[in-house]
Structure 1
Amino acid sequence: MDFLKSAVASAMASGPPFPYTYGDKVDIDESIWTLHNGTKREDGSNCSIFSFDIPANKSLLPLAKNALKKLRTLRHPGVLKVHDTVETETKLLIATERVVPLRWHIRRKSLSPETIKWGLHGIARTIKFINGDASSIHGSLKVGSIYTSESGEWKLGGFEVLSSIKDDESVIYTYGSLVPDSPRYSPPEVAQNGWEVIKKHPQTAVDAFDFGILVFEVFNGEYHGTDQAGQTKNVPPSMQSSYRRLCNNNPKARISVGNFLDQGVRTGSFFDNSLIKLTEGIDNLGVKTPEEREEFLSDLDQLSDDFPEDFFKLKVLPELIKSVEYGGGGPKALNVIFKIATKMSNEDFESKITPFVVRAFSNPDRALRVCLLDNLHLMIDRIPQKIVNDKIFPQLVTGFTDVAPVVREQTLKSVLVIVPKLSDRTINGDLLKQLAKTANDEQPGIRTNTTICLGKISKHLGSSTRSKVLTAAFSRSLRDPFVPARNAALMALGATVEHFSDEDCAGKILPVVCPLLMDKDKLVRDSANRTVDTYLVRIRKAASEIPDTTTTAPQPSISGIASPNVTQGEVAGWTGWAISSFTNKLSASAGSMQATNGNLVSPQPSPALDPRKSGGANTPLTASRVTSPNPTTVARAFFPPEEPQDDGGDGWGDMADDDDDGFSEKPSSSAGQKNSTPTVAAAPFDDGGEPDFASWLEQRAKGPAKSKPLPKGLAKSTTATGAKKTVTKPVSKPAAKPLAAKKINMAPKASADDDEGWGDGTSETMAQGAIKMSTKAAATKVAHSKKQASKITKPKQRSKGNPDKVHRKFTSGMTARTEALLGERAGHLELIGQGKKGKKVAKAGGSKRFG
């Protein structure tokens, strides 16, 4: 039974649960309350906890209960905001907004005169409300009764003796003298006659005198007694006159705090400043007209840095955010928000500004979007990367396609600010797609800014696509008709040279930059020169590091060919890049050309045209190994003599063309040259389908039986004129090699050079040699062939029959075919000198007969 009684008593003593947690104790002036910092258990929000220990201060309990009652019932912006109260048998607890004593700031002298005026203005308004609308007397107004909130506003407390004048049994009459420091702050009439005397004087007299002491104390720091009341030391001159009237010893001559406030808010008076106007205007911002709102926000944007940051953060900022989102605050309000945000801590910024920015980017107001983009650099570093990439950027990209050019341009400029916060996938995907659109924008300024933007964000692009993207974008800008766009492309190329490979610099960048060296605009020409110089330095440096691996292929020594009297250095000079394409095509032509001394060169064997017998040495790729004719003759045949002149770099692609033609292959092996003589390293070349009579004669000269000397100009210089006897041996497969002529395909090839034959330039020379030869060649070779056929040994019998009959058939068939072949060849050579038409007819005839 005793246990139950104790449990009930304990429950009654503890009272209802207090949903706040105590924190650190806060030092305050002499007071009946103990102040602690606290937090609300539900959400962790900050608060302050005033606690009164009943057993320890039982005589002061009426004061504590009066304060608790008045704080619950009296509501005003200048009064401490109460969250919750709890009464038990041992404690009185009051949970309020988080505050600190004003005494802290006074002792540290951390308040500017403008801030003090702003604070006094707030307390004056509160006292005016208490004395007027509430018909009450505060009775304990002093620095110790005032606190500052987290927003920096001054909040009035100390309601221990706050009493209504209509109540004859008010606490102030009975317990006024129990308030700590009451003698020091009491008016002269109360000090002399007690608190009952206030019934005989104006109800505002006590609070007016205490407010005067408060003015002196906040400007000077300490107040020691009534002898300091009315002193004007450190009090602003504009306030001194009204301040003295507050401290008048005659209670009936004192002005009320309400009158003091009215005098101060007059134009040019001590309460006429921007911070006080801000306080009055911020509360009703939502109901102001557009003109009033515009004027108010303009003043707000010009506020100096002396004003309390906490007030802007916790009082002004929430109102401005509501105005932007719901009340039409517009860009001006947004500018003030960003100005306040720069002074906020990272925690406050993340909790208050970041969510607002995300919401603001979804607002369709174009003016608001432009303002957001302009101020993005002030806050982007403090917004987490994930929020920028996932929430802000998807809203931001809609500005790239907006119909208003100013929105597109500002969106483009904001890329430089936001790109460090974007992921690689976003940059190389969505962002580049949008920049590709602005690169083709109808506004030339947007196209120019796109080029500049790409140059500045190039380091953020993916290494695998960076060179390709920049090359394509800058090449397009170089062709832009807008002069600043071309100039921007050149400057961007100069700034991003390190992102291109050496090969790209030489093969892709310079070819598109060089035409701008002749641009009509001098600005572009100057930029082009600087860009070209930059890339040439890079290319020359890279080229100097390439090892010298180029070697000259050994030239074959052909017996009987008159070598031009030219040194190696002269050959290199003649065979430079300017005629490289010409010499390559010339070396692919059929036949031999006359030397510079007028003598005919020895005929060279023509290539085997049958694909089945063409080896590695007989491919067109080996044509480049033929000893080139005298460069002087070649040049004169194709280029008439004239003054040297610069070709303007028109032939820059010739070397690349030669590579494509496949003429730079390595020499083929000697496996396909089994039948060549040891002293002749003949390199067959493509004759373009032209019948080569001289080559056929030389092949016949290499047969087992030596013929009579050929006419002058057709035989090798080293060939003996006399014919040796042929040793008669049984006919074998090698002995039948003269029959290989049957397999020669003399049909003209379908080549691009057929219409422009190499012989056109030397038709006169070749015609002379061919005509001299045509008369003797037929008769001489017919006789030679008959003699050769008569000496051929009887072939080996492979079948039954008369051997003599077989021999006669073979020799007669050989003789008849030889005669027909020589006749056709002679007829063909007679037509060479008649020009292109005759040559084509001969080609057609040869194709028909020997194809």
Structure 2
Amino acid sequence: MGNEQSQMSDVEVDDTVTVVSDFWSQHGATINGSESGSSVRVTLFAGELLVEEPFWRDQQLTPLEKFSKNIKIYRHPSIVKYITSWQKSSKYYLAVEEVSPLAHLIQSHLSPMEVCLGLYSILKAIDFLHSKASVSHNNVSVASIMVNKEGNWKLGGMEYLCPYNQLNPDYVRKTEKWRGGHKIPDGAESLKDKSKLDLVGFCATALDLLKNSSDPNASRESFQNYCTKVLEDPNHLQTTTLQNLLDHPYFKHPFITIHSFLIELPLKSDPEKSEFFKNLEKELRALDDEELVAGQLGGLLVSRLVLLNQDAQECVLPYIMVPRKGTNDAIFSLEVFKTYIAPKLLRIFPVRDAQIRRRLLDYLPQCFDCFSRDDLQFKILPELLVGIKDLDDELVCATLHTLAALVPVLGAHVVISGERAKLFNDGRPNSRAAAPINGAELGQVLRSADVEGAKGTLGERPDLPERPRPDGEEGETSTEDVEQSGEESADNWEDWGEGEGAAPPTDVNRPKRFLDITELDIKAQPSEEPEVDFFADMEPEIRSSRKFLTEKTVGSSSSMFSVKNEHQGDEEGWDDDWA
């Protein structure tokens, strides 16, 4: 109980109520992850734990509790996904994937293909309940259909689901006033085929959704007529099965076929998968609506089973994992890829699977412009930095290639971080060609420079090229070296002007004689400030307790340490016994 209360404290419920029914209210909510720090958007159902209706008292479960129990047991891609549930005070809470009621989206424009795919998904879920689980839904209607954020239709409203052995006319009559319902033809309750109740509910729902359809496809009209016969003719109802509806030409569109195969991919054999993926790229290009393909099939095309399939890696992934730019032959345009495919890649990138990560790294540098700067810096970059620490050398190599491609996008200061410094210099020669200068021109330059010799500077000449930096130079010239070089240059010019009217030599063409080092006049400039002796106070001071008088005599020992003691007879302690 304490765990349930603490879980409630991590849920932020939206103020707006989406749906209010007889037994619960539907809200949008956010579940905050305490460990990872991430948050997940969900749909939250809240209902009372006490229901006064006699039928539900006999069931020993409230409608919301039964709904929660059934979606937890019966899992299918087209059934609403269970996340968690808990009790608090007198209420029961159920959290499922983020969905919206289909009734809210009917007013918006739904393309004919979206309606066709949605009906097929719901029909597949109903067929799963009957053929695999031997249970009847008993509440198929527009109100029981949800749509997730990717546009996929999901079957909900499973509070009236029951096993075949409990489905009888009495159960149908007791639940009829709450079920979203269409009238059952006379005698349908007592038919031996337990699927008839859901068959009637599906046909009635399909007619409601297709009555205003603008689809000119002839198969759509044929399907409407087929559903009308099921509802009006008991004999036709008795001979019709769910499989007959699934085999109708209305559901044989290539788009439906691709979607169905991707949904059932785990059940297919290897030869079937190989043939499917080898032809998939051409079939996707043949579909007209690129945005519908990316929206409805995008999540399936980048699923785990597709990314790990060898045939898909060779024949499909190169065309769906990158946007269409320049001369490449990708299927999705840049805008469609950015809207539908990039968010899915961003969601699966943190998966710690080496093969999945390597497939993503193969194509990630080609779609950096499909992610925001924040996504690259705070979601993708941290995962790349984790990847370079793995023991797999190939994974590390691919990760480093991706990091290198990320540097021009985010900058090295973001990708590398830490302290950086300029450790390399540009040793290229100056690109501007140096103009040749003859000796006469150089002499004229030197004579003009002598006029300014008193200032110790050489005037700049715009037509003289800048001295190029030597190849292989390392390090940078400090300011002190530049100043010292300027002072030495000034001294050299002063030497030329010792005699009044002296001029610099003009015979510049004569080769210069190199002097011997002994002929160089090296002047050491005296220091203006006395050198500070930092060890002066550390010099030992030796003091004697007695004074000795020394006297220098002629003929005495030449040693400067000879000492004459005037009190030689009075000293004690230094006799021969001590020696």
CA distance in 1, matches of 2:84, 2:497: 108
C-alpha displacement of 1:357: 11
Q: Deviations over 1:181-236 (max 9, x none)?
A: 54xx113426xxxxxx5214644433233222211222347xxxxxxxxxx88685
1:259 paired residue number: 244
Distance 1:199 1:233, change over 3 A: farther
Contact preservation (8 Å) 1:35, 1:48: yes
Distance 1:302 1:624, change over 3 A: same
Matches of 1:751 and 1:88 in 2, distance apart?
101
Describe the shift of the 1:189–1:281 C-alpha distance in structure 2 as closer, same or farther (beyond 3 A): same
Q: Which residue of the other structure, out of 511, 514, 522, is the alignment partner of 2:433?
A: 511
Contact 2:127–2:242 (Cα < 8 Å) also in 1? yes
Alignment-derived partner of residue 246 in structure 1: 227
Contact 1:380 1:418 in 2 (8 A): no
Give the deviation of 1:418 after TM superposition: 4.1
Match of 1:155, as an amino acid?
Answer: K
Paired residues for 1:418-429 under 5 Å: 418-423=407-412
* CA deviation after TM superposition for structure 1 residue 120, in Å: 0.5
Q: Among all aligned residue pairs of Structure 1 and Structure 2, give the percentage whose two residues are the same amino acid.
A: 16
Moved more, 269-278 or 120-129: 269-278
2:307 maps to 1:324: yes
SS of the residue 2:19 aligns to: coil
Which letter does structure 2 place at the counterpart of 1:215?
A: A
Change (3 A) 1:217 1:83: same
Aligned residue number for residue 23 of structure 1? 13
Q: Match for residue 208 of structure 1?
A: 199
For the pair shown, the structure with the greater C-alpha radius of gyration is 1
Cα distance in structure 2, aligned partners of 1:425 and 1:54: 53
3-state SS, counterpart of residue 27 of structure 1: strand
How far apart are the structure 2 equivalents of 1:371 and 1:297? 17
8 Å CA contact 1:85–1:95 kept in 2: the answer is: yes
Q: CA offsets, 1:722-774, max 9 Å, x none?
A: xxxxxxxxxxxxxxxxxxxxxxxxxxx9977xxxxxxxxxxxxxxxxxxxxxx
Query: Which letter does structure 1 place at the counterpart of 2:184?
Result: P
Q: Which residue of 2 aligns with 1:53?
A: 48
1:27 maps to a residue whose letter is T
- Give the partner amino acid of 2:183: S
How far residue 37 of structure 1 moved from its aligned partner, in angstroms, is 2.9
Distance 1:287 1:338, change over 3 A: farther
CA gap of 1:18–1:33, structure 2 versus 1, over 3 A, is: farther
| Contact kept? 2:365, 2:406, Cα under 8 Å | no
Equivalence for 2:523:
none
Deviation at 1:23, TM superposition (A): 1.9
Counterpart CA distance in 2 for 1:623 and 1:47 is 85
Deviations 1:60-90 (A, max 9, x none): 5248265455444433332223334557995
Q: Contact between 2:45 and 2:93, CA under 8 Å: does it hold in 1?
A: yes
What SS does structure 2 have at the residue aligned with 1:111?
coil
What residue in structure 1 maps to residue 370 of structure 2? 378
List aligned pairs for 1:110-125, cutoff 5 A.
110-125=109-124
Q: Tell me, what secondary structure is at the counterpart of 1:155? A: strand
Distance 1:98 1:624 in 2: 83
Residues 109/361 of structure 1: CA separation in 2 closer, same or farther (3 Å cut):
closer
Letter in 2 for 1:423: A
Residue 33, structure 1, aligned to residue 15, structure 2: no
- What is the Cα deviation at residue 250 of structure 1? 1.6
Matches within 5 A, 1:380-419: 381=373, 383-385=375-377, 418-419=407-408
Kindly provide the amino acid, as one letter, of the partner of residue 115 in structure 2: I
Query: Distance between the aligned counterparts of 1:203 and 1:376, measured in 2?
Result: 54
Q: Report the residue type matching 2:228 in the other structure.
A: C
Structure with higher helix content: 1
Q: Does 1:307 align with 2:292?
A: yes
Q: Secondary structure at the match of 1:37?
A: strand
Give 1:478-489 correspondences, 5 Å limit: none
Partner of 1:156: 155
Per the alignment, in what secondary structure is the counterpart of residue 96 of structure 1? strand
Is 1:293 equivalent to 2:277 in the alignment? yes
The 5 A counterparts of 1:460-499 are 468=426, 471=428
Query: How far did residue 284 of structure 1 move?
Result: 1.6
Aligned-partner SS, 1:141: coil
**Alpha-carbon distance change, 170 to 379 in structure 1, aligned in 2, over 3 angstroms:** same
2:98 aligns with 98
| Paired position in structure 2 for 1:179 | 178
- Contact 1:338-1:378 within 8 A present in 2 as well: no
State the secondary structure of the residue aligned to 2:234: coil
TM-score of the aligned structures, taking structure 1 as reference length:
0.41
Cα contact 1:32–1:60 (8 A) shared by 2? no
Aligned to 2:126: 127
How many residue pairs get aligned? The number is: 436
* Contact map agreement 2:308 2:356 (CA 8 A) in 1: no
Amino acid in the other structure paired with 1:509? S
1:120–1:215 Cα contact (<8 Å) kept: yes
Distance 2:386 2:464 in 1: 46
Contact 2:184 2:200 in 1 (8 A): yes
Closer/same/farther in 2, CA of residues 26 and 306 from structure 1, 3 Å limit: farther
Distance 1:23 1:272 in 2: 41
CA RMSD of aligned residues (A): 5.5
Give the structure with the larger strand fraction: 2
The answer as to 2:179 corresponding to 1:189 is no
SS at 1:139's partner residue? Answer: coil
- SS state of the match for residue 79, structure 1? coil
User: Residue 104 of structure 1 aligns to which amino acid in structure 2?
Assistant: H
Q: Which amino acid aligns with 1:146?
A: I
Judged with a 3 Å threshold, the aligned counterparts in structure 2 of structure 1 residues 122 and 350 are, in CA distance, closer, same or farther, namely closer
Q: What is the rounded CA distance, in whole Å, between the counterparts of 2:387 and 2:97 in structure 1?
A: 38
Structure 2 partner of 1:218: 209
- Distance in 1, matches of 2:194 and 2:217, equals 28
Change (3 A) 1:189 1:247: farther
Residue pair 1:115, 1:308 contacting (<8 A) in 2 also: no
Equivalence map 1:234-633=2 (5 Å): 236-248=217-229, 249-254=232-237, 255-264=240-249, 269-274=250-255, 276-284=257-265, 288=270, 289-296=273-280, 299=283, 304-307=289-292, 311=296, 315-316=299-300, 319=303, 321=304, 323-324=306-307, 329-330=312-313, 332-333=316-317, 335-338=319-322, 342-343=338-339, 352=347, 355=350, 363=358, 371-379=363-371, 381=373, 383-385=375-377, 418-423=407-412, 468=426, 471=428, 508-511=430-433, 580-581=438-439
On the 8 A contact 2:112/2:215 being kept in 1, the answer is no
1:47 is aligned with what amino acid? Answer: V
- CA apart distance, 1:240: 2.0
2:482 corresponds in structure 1 to none
**SS of the counterpart of 2:26?**
strand
Shift in Å, 1:165: 3.8
| Residues 79 and 142 (structure 1), Cα distance of their counterparts in 2 relative to 1, 3 Å cut | same
Contact between 2:68 and 2:82, CA under 8 Å: does it hold in 1? Answer: no
CA distance in 2 between partners of 1:207 and 1:388 (Å): 46
Write out aligned runs for 1:799-818 (5 A): none
Contact map agreement 2:349 2:357 (CA 8 A) in 1: no
Q: Matches of 1:105 and 1:335 in 2, distance apart?
A: 32
Shift, 1:173, TM fit: 3.2
SS in structure 2 at match of 1:36: strand
Instruction: Determine if contact 2:80/2:155 at 8 Å carries over to the other structure.
Output: yes
Task: Give SS of 2:186's match.
Answer: helix
Q: Is the 8 A contact 1:245 1:253 kept in 2?
A: no
Cα offset, 1:116, TM superposition: 1.0
CA distance in 2 between partners of 1:89 and 1:655 (Å) = 85
Gaps of 5+ in 1: 1-10, 191-196, 222-231, 397-401, 432-460, 473-507, 515-576, 588-620, 626-651, 657-661, 674-680, 689-748, 753-851
Equivalent residues of 1:140, 1:161 under 8 A apart: yes
Distance 1:240 1:172, change over 3 A: farther
- Worse-matched range after superposition: 119-128 or 90-99: 90-99
1:175 shift after superposition:
1.1
CA separation of 1:311/1:23 partners in 2, compared to 1, >3 Å: closer, same or farther? farther
